[in-house]
Amino acid sequence: MNLDSFKQEILHNIALIKEYKKRLRVLERQAARFGPGFAPSHILVEIDEVRSILEGFDENIEAMRLEYIDLLDAKKRNYKTSIKDMVELIQQRYRTATVRGEEETQEEYRHRVEKYDREKKEIDKEIGKLIKAIRELEKDIEELENQAQVG
């Protein structure tokens, strides 16, 4: 399951939990109207069933939430590793251009440095995209934690 569908599944389960909690409150009010020991058995049975469903959801949603956060953290680490690798590549290419500059003509050296500059700009754009993706992942984690607290 990809991250988006995983997140949607969690949010769907949170929405179901909210609906079941609403149903439980209605049933509890109905039972309270009859007073202790006088509520119809079908209401009491349904209250127990809804509570049981909610317990299952709570356990399931917490496991899914933790797994989702682990997946997001892993993706974030991969992005950070990619950024580090790109920075090292830029540094290596500039060092290579500097060393070769002594052996090449000025024109060849200038073209090589311009090429590396273009590549650096492309890599910088990729790094910007990765940083944006990391921020979105952090936002998703925060949103998911807020949803879990509300549920």
Neighbours of 91 (CB within 10 A): 11
**pTM over the 0.85 mark:** no
Q: Given this model, what pLDDT does residue 125 score? A: 79
122-139 per-position pLDDT tens digit: 777 777 777 777 777 777
| pLDDT at position 65 | 75
Q: How far apart are CA 122 and CA 116, in angstroms?
A: 10
Distance of alpha carbon 19 from alpha carbon 96, whole angstroms: 62
